[in-house]
Structure formats: structure tokens, C-alpha cells
Amino acid sequence: MQAGASSALLGACSPEVPKLAPGAAPQLTLPGGWVGASVARGHRLREGAPEGPALQGGPIRRCRVLIIGGGVAGLACARGLMQAGIDDFALLELEDQAGGNSRGHQMGGMACPLGAHYLPLPGPHAQAVSQLLEELGLSRQVMGRTVYEERHLCHSPQERLLYQGQWLEGLLPPAESAQAQAQYLKFAQAVAHAQQHLGFAIPSRSLPWRAEHAALDGQTFAHWLNRQGLQDPGLRWYLDYCCRDDFGADASTVSAWAGLHYFASRHGFHPPGWQDSAEREAVLTWPEGNAWLTRRMAQALGEHVHCGRTVLKVSPQRHEFHAQVWHESSQSPEQWRASALVMATPLFIAQRLLGEAAPPALHDATTQMAYAPWLVANLQVKGPLLQRQGARPAWDNVMYGAQSLGYVDAMHQSLVPQAGPTVLTAYWALPQARRAALYQQPWTFWLQQLLQQWGDAHPDLLQQLQRADLMRWGHAMSIPVPGLRGSPALAHLAESPNGIHFAHSDLAAYSVFEEAYNAGHRVATRLRSQLQGPARR
């Protein structure tokens, strides 16, 4: 969907030496705009269901299980039901495409992500995800070992960092002194200790929650790092970067549990000079990002998926659930009735849809939560950009000290030997205070902001740029703020209070594919055992 695509005049600089500093000379016409989310549907949702006949009419549709929300969690739940032979279900999705935060886009015939762009190889606790990957042909068992399809593993070089004017391999800034090296080592030891003695896993609720976890959850990561004496600027920049990249906020906002979980639940922390465990750090990625996965999940569900359906209100009745739905293409209401309800939307939306019928735990959890706004900019370029010296272009390219998170190259996985036209996808987790500006400022404002940050790395970017499609995620992901992961209210929502099944990555306090998939899969497993008896209709 191309919402608000238009042409714009951007302030640029001389065509021969195009600098990206603000306010410089000639004007350049550049096509582009906001894409990916319908502002009108968001409005409808925010304003709530108008009372009265306008919304209460329309056809009445019935199914046994109604799933609201077609992100990874909703799709995983539907997939689980189908695999269990339960096919009397419907999934309603507000957008015209399922996938939620893991949707894709196209520019100049090239696929690119709108949100999530990679999946780390699942660890031993993410069994449902491992099974999905096998079913999709991404992995197979060879003599008791999981072997992944080379084509979909991120090719080398994976990451590089622009540091003091040159590109370095990897994202960790070099330890400039013996003192810095000692700090890197100390943090690595703390992570190894956490892995061995506390237990961290993805999905995070697959291991017991202990008092030590709660103590970490009760403070910010920055506070914990300060108390450990870990203040080296390079290390702290890197840790901030990792938190912004995975959780949408820096170390002063996320909990120490989250900061350690990032490393301890996956590959650990490898300071310069330590031996890397290459296989654990490998990631699966595709030009369109994780939309490669969600498209296949949605396709397998066929007509069970109903896109362009904005659910405006959900009311539990004595023996069933009623949902008031707005059918976007016909601009008319529909009434859905089901004996089981799965809320696979973000929790703040579930709260809005259920209103007074929401279980108290939902209210308690949402008052503790904070959501990060994100900007994703897909930049279609004519050809390879000028490169500073050092490491060659990688899949993930990050600039030390920049506000945004860097960019991935959609053609990185292509087997074409010569670099040519591509789409560079820039990611930026914004502070919550900038959410309003994300909606108020025009797309050209945000593009300018990005171009300024990239000026040093790629002074010819503006010259190569053909089109820019920007996506704004107002409430992109739950930030694991102190106290959230250990919140009893959040844990209670996973127990299906008031007979309502909640399935969303929000239940984990932070957002990654494995947590979302697991949330949906868990609900499908529960429904399977509940629905063994005759359906309540």
C-alpha cells in the first residue's frame, strides 16, 4: 500500500559534490512518501467504536475461534489450530496484508522489509520456531544435527561499523586501551556468569524466574552497569546500540534483566580477541526480511485470513464473544460471533477493544508498559555508494555515534556478482517523546534527518537516491522497562483470564519473532485441548 506517496523538494547541495548538510544549495525532486499503514484505520481505532446503528448492522458471521490480529502471534495461533485439525476459525487483520511488524515492501522490483528483517538461529528452547523452520524448508536434520539452508543464512560480511572515518568489521568498537579491554572482559564474564548460574532463554518464560532475575528486573541496565564500574565509552555505546536495536530504547530505559538477556539468551558477549561461536551468531535473513516467513504462514491459512477488517469492539457475552468489525473495502460493518476469542493485537489495543470487559490484569499490565516509536526508511539507490576505506559493504552497516541504527542492504543475499541498484533499509528507534513529531512532521523532514546522519559515511547518497518510502510505527514494540518482565499482571495474561486468550509478543515484555510465535503457538495448544469436546455455539 502506498499511502501519501508524492514528490518532494529536498534541500540538497551541489550536484558534483553532494554534501548532505542541512540548508545547502540546489533543490532536488525526489519521489517518495509514507507507506505501510493506513492512517484512517488507525484513527478509527483510536476514536473507538461509535455507538448506534451504523456499527451494529451488517452480516453476522460465525466461527468457533476468532483470532484478532494477523501478526506473527496471530498467524502462529492459526497455524497451530489448522495443524490440530481445527478449521472452524477466522483471523481478522486490520491491514491489507497479514504479518504485522514483520511485513514487506517492494521498490523498483526489489523486495525490502517494512519492519523485522532477521531471525537468529533458534536456541534449544525455541522448539516451535525450529519446527516451523523445518516445515518451511529452511532447515533439516542431518545425523542428529540441524543444518540450515545456506541460501537463507546471512552471507558474509555480516556487519560493519563506521568508526573514526573508516569501516571496521563487526559492530564492537575497538578497545582503545588496556583499561577498556579489561572492561570488555569484565562484561563478558558477567554475561557468562548469568548464562551459567541464572539461566536466560528465548522464549524467556521457558526457564524459572528467580529472585536474582527479579533484582535485575528492578533496575535499569545503565544503573547496573554503573554499579559494576563498566563505563568505557566504546562499550557503553555498543550496549546502548544493542538495547536500542532489540528493545527500542537505550540502557538508561530498559531493565538490567533485558540488557543481560540480550546477550545471555543467545550468543553471549565476545570481546575483541575472544573466540567467536560462529554458528550461534548466524542469522536467517531475506530481502523482504521476516515477511518471507509471515507470507508463507499466511498463504497456508488461505481463506481463514480476512485482511482489511478493523475490529472496533469486542464484548464477551454469556456463551460467546461478539466483535464489531469494520470491513474496509466495502466501508460497512460486520458482526462476528465465536465461542473462543484470541486477542493477538498489542495489549494496549486489546485493552481498548475490550473496554470495561477487560480483565483487571490487562489494565494493570498496560499501565506499566511503554512502547517505542520506530521509523523505517527504504531508500532505493541507482548503484553502489562511494565507500570510505576499511571493511567492504556488509548486510548491516552501522555508524558509531549516530542517532539512527544504520541500514541493511536488501540485495545482500543476491548472488549477482556486481553491486548494482539496491534498496537500503534504515532503522531508527526514536525516543517516546518524538512519537508526536513522527506523525506531525512530513516524511521529507525525517528523510533529511537520516541523510544528515549518513553524510559522513556516504556523501553521494543523495545523488544515487531514486525514491524513499518511509514507514512510521507509532507503537512498534514493548520496551522492557524495569519491573515489566517480572510483572504478575503480564504473567497472568498468559493464563487466559476471563476465558480470553492473549497471544502477542507483548506478553514477553519485549518483541522478537520467537516470543511472538511462541505466544500464538501456546494458545493454539491450549485451545486444542479445550476444544476436544463439542463446540459451544
Ligand X SMILES: Cc1cc2nc3c(=O)[nH]c(=O)nc-3n(C[C@H](O)[C@H](O)[C@H](O)COP(=O)(O)OP(=O)(O)OC[C@H]3O[C@@H](n4cnc5c(N)ncnc54)[C@H](O)[C@@H]3O)c2cc1C
Nearest CA to 191 out of 266, 263, 276, 272 is that of 263
Q: Does 170 bind ligand X (CB under 6 A)?
A: no
Among 133, 293, 301, 516, the residue binding ligand X under the rule CB under 6 A is 516
In the complex, least distance from residue 512 CB atom to ligand X, rounded to whole angstroms: 4
Nearest CA to 412 out of 121, 36, 160, 130 is that of 160
Q: Does 524 bind ligand X (CB under 6 A)?
A: no
In the complex, least distance from residue 356 CB atom to ligand X, rounded to whole angstroms: 17
Q: Which of residues 291-330 bind ligand X (CB under 6 A)?
A: 310-311
In the complex, least distance from residue 296 CB atom to ligand X, rounded to whole angstroms: 14
- Per the CB < 8 A criterion, the answer to whether 65 and 91 are in contact is no
Q: Which of residues 371-400 bind ligand X (CB under 6 A)?
A: 374, 376
In the complex, least distance from residue 24 CB atom to ligand X, rounded to whole angstroms: 30
Between 184 and 412, whose beta carbon lies closer to ligand X? 412
Pairwise CA distance, residues 378 & 422, whole Å: 10
Pairwise CA distance, residues 487 & 468, whole Å: 41
x/- site string to ligand X, residues 420 to 449, per CB under 6 A? -------x----------------------
Size of the site for ligand X (CB under 6 A): 39
Among 73, 126, 314, 347, the residue binding ligand X under the rule CB under 6 A is 73
Among 513, 521, 522, 526, the residue binding ligand X under the rule CB under 6 A is 513
In the complex, least distance from residue 382 CB atom to ligand X, rounded to whole angstroms: 25
Q: Does 115 bind ligand X (CB under 6 A)?
A: yes
Q: CB atoms < 10 A from the CB of 370, how many?
A: 15
Pairwise CA distance, residues 451 & 468, whole Å: 11
Q: Which of residues 185-214 bind ligand X (CB under 6 A)?
A: none
Between 20 and 504, whose beta carbon lies closer to ligand X? 504
> Which burial class, exposed, middle or buried, applies to 168 when counting CB atoms under 10 A from its CB (0-12, 13-18, 19+)?
middle
For the beta sheet containing 6-11, the strands, ordered from the edge strand earlier in sequence to the opposite edge, are: 6-11, 27-34, 465-478, 371-381, 422-429, 406-409, 396-399, 159-163, 166-169
Could you tell me which stretch among 6-14, 65-73, 149-157, 378-386 binds ligand X (CB under 6 A)? 65-73
> Which burial class, exposed, middle or buried, applies to 330 when counting CB atoms under 10 A from its CB (0-12, 13-18, 19+)?
exposed
Report which residue's Cβ sits closest to ligand X: 71
In the complex, least distance from residue 508 CB atom to ligand X, rounded to whole angstroms: 9
Pairwise CA distance, residues 477 & 73, whole Å: 14
Between 103 and 160, whose beta carbon lies closer to ligand X? 103
Pairwise CA distance, residues 372 & 243, whole Å: 12
Q: CB atoms < 10 A from the CB of 344, how many?
A: 31
Between 104 and 115, whose beta carbon lies closer to ligand X? 115
User: Which residues are CB-neighbours of 473 under 8 A, at least 6 positions away?
Assistant: 37, 101, 115, 373, 374, 375, 376
Q: Does 505 bind ligand X (CB under 6 A)?
A: yes
- 297-to-70, 76, 111, 376, 521 alpha-carbon distances in Å: 10, 8, 18, 23, 13
Q: Does 346 bind ligand X (CB under 6 A)?
A: yes
Q: Does 247 bind ligand X (CB under 6 A)?
A: no
In the complex, least distance from residue 527 CB atom to ligand X, rounded to whole angstroms: 17
Among 12, 32, 65, 93, the residue binding ligand X under the rule CB under 6 A is 93
Between 351 and 487, whose beta carbon lies closer to ligand X? 351
Q: Does 340 bind ligand X (CB under 6 A)?
A: no
x/- site string to ligand X, residues 256 to 295, per CB under 6 A? ----------------------------------x-----
- Per the CB < 8 A criterion, the answer to whether 344 and 520 are in contact is yes
Between 105 and 180, whose beta carbon lies closer to ligand X? 105
User: Which residues are CB-neighbours of 131 under 8 A, at least 6 positions away?
Assistant: none
Q: Does 236 bind ligand X (CB under 6 A)?
A: no
Pairwise CA distance, residues 393 & 50, whole Å: 52
In this structure, are strands 89-92 and 305-306 parallel, antiparallel, or unpaired?
parallel
Between 36 and 486, whose beta carbon lies closer to ligand X? 36
In the complex, least distance from residue 428 CB atom to ligand X, rounded to whole angstroms: 9
Pairwise CA distance, residues 316 & 338, whole Å: 10
In the complex, least distance from residue 48 CB atom to ligand X, rounded to whole angstroms: 11
What's 195's DSSP letter? I
Q: Does 102 bind ligand X (CB under 6 A)?
A: yes
The amino acid at 161: L
- Per the CB < 8 A criterion, the answer to whether 406 and 398 are in contact is yes
Q: Does 473 bind ligand X (CB under 6 A)?
A: yes
- 383-to-202, 334, 465, 466, 486 alpha-carbon distances in Å: 39, 48, 9, 10, 48
In the complex, least distance from residue 429 CB atom to ligand X, rounded to whole angstroms: 8
x/- site string to ligand X, residues 116 to 155, per CB under 6 A? xxxx------------------------------------
Q: Does 361 bind ligand X (CB under 6 A)?
A: no
Among 35, 63, 65, 72, the residue binding ligand X under the rule CB under 6 A is 72
Q: CB atoms < 10 A from the CB of 500, how many?
A: 20
Written as nine digits, the cell of 318 is 454469556
- Interface residues with ligand X (CB under 6 A) are 45, 68-74, 92-95, 100-102, 115-119, 290, 310-311, 344-346, 349, 374, 376, 427, 473, 476-477, 504-505, 511-513, 516
